[in-house]
Amino acid sequence: MKRERLDKVLANMGLGTRKEVKALVKQGAVVVDGVVANDPGMHVVAEEQEILVDGEPLNYKRWVYVLMNKPPGVISATEDSMHETVVDLLPYEWAIKVHPVGRLDIDTEGLLLLTNDGQLSHSLLSPKKKVEKEYFARIDGRVTEEHVAAFAKGVELEDFTTLPAKLEILSSGENSEIRVTIMEGKFHQVKRMFAAFGLHVSYLQRVRMGPLHLDPSLEPGEYRELTEEELTMLQQHVKGNQ
């Protein structure tokens, strides 16, 4: 386990700035393993030691994994001067740590993973891993088996040709509903793939990333931590795709 400065641990838990948590320590408000801490720079192993702040235990977690149902109108970023971001929806102690794994367009809803585990994030986004991303979409126009075949071959766009994608037609007519699974995550990719055939995506929702599925109990804007089972599945999935 990693040893870290006490003031850094407290600040990372959202208890204040480094200056503010140093003042907390000097006031005698922090107890480590039954002893009042008097040095903000003392090194602790936060996962193993008992740390009390004003008598309340500090439940420290080094790694944070958050599953969110991203709502429309919110951007997949850690900060932005114009729009609300996905981390703005989180409690402060998570928001200061995590970043979104990949991006969903501002008007796209659905599954978004946020974490401070850079290695897992990199693996999930690496083209070499070919992690599937599955979307549900509503399309203005009729989607046909010809489109299914074209997606399966890879769609030629202006700047690149997509990898083969699985397109499933749920309903077809003046407006169609589909599921599409891609192994990339390029800018506006799903929308651009349909636009290549003169079709407009009117609604887009990501429902799966690798083995991780959108929790149907989460309303747009809601979130929860990953379960141990979900985290293990993700870790094993990227390891198996090496």
Q: Within a 10 A sphere around the Cβ of 24, how many other Cβ atoms?
A: 19
Q: How far is CA 37 from the centre of its chain?
A: 36
Between CA 12 and CA 228 the distance in angstroms is: 22
Residues 70, 109: one domain? Answer: yes
Residue range 17-33: mean pLDDT, rounded: 93
124-151, pLDDT tens digit by residue? 999 888 999 999 999 999 999 999 999 9
Residues 184, 219: one domain? Answer: no
- Domain at 108, CATH number: 3.30.70.580
Residue 210's pLDDT band (boundaries 50, 70, 90)?
A: very high
Are the C-beta atoms of 235 and 211 separated by less than 8 Å? no
> Given CA atoms 131, 191, 109, 79 in this order, what sign does their dihedral have?
positive
The residue range of the domain holding 165 is 132-209
| pLDDT, the chain, mean | 93
The total domain count for the chain is: 3
Residues 45, 141: one domain? Answer: no
- Domain at 176, CATH number: 3.30.70.1560
Residues 37, 136: one domain? Answer: no
Residues 203, 86: one domain? Answer: no
Tell me which of 48 and 138 has the higher pLDDT: 138
Tell me which of 191 and 95 has the higher pLDDT: 191
Residues 216, 205: one domain? Answer: no
Residues 193, 148: one domain? Answer: yes
Residues 233, 114: one domain? Answer: yes
Which residues does the annotation mark as catalytic? 105
Residues 86, 103: one domain? Answer: yes
Residues 69, 116: one domain? Answer: yes
Residues 87, 48: one domain? Answer: no
Residue 242's pLDDT band (boundaries 50, 70, 90)?
A: low
Residues 69, 119: one domain? Answer: yes
pLDDT at 156 over 90: yes
Beta strand residue intervals within 93-231, DSSP E: 99-100, 109-115, 133-140, 166-171, 175-182, 200-209, 212-213, 223-225
pLDDT at 186 over 90: no
Tell me which of 122 and 47 has the higher pLDDT: 122
56-106, pLDDT tens digit by residue? 998 888 889 999 999 999 999 999 989 999 999 999 888 888 999 999 999
- Domain at 51, CATH number: 3.10.290.10
Residue range 106-113: mean pLDDT, rounded: 97
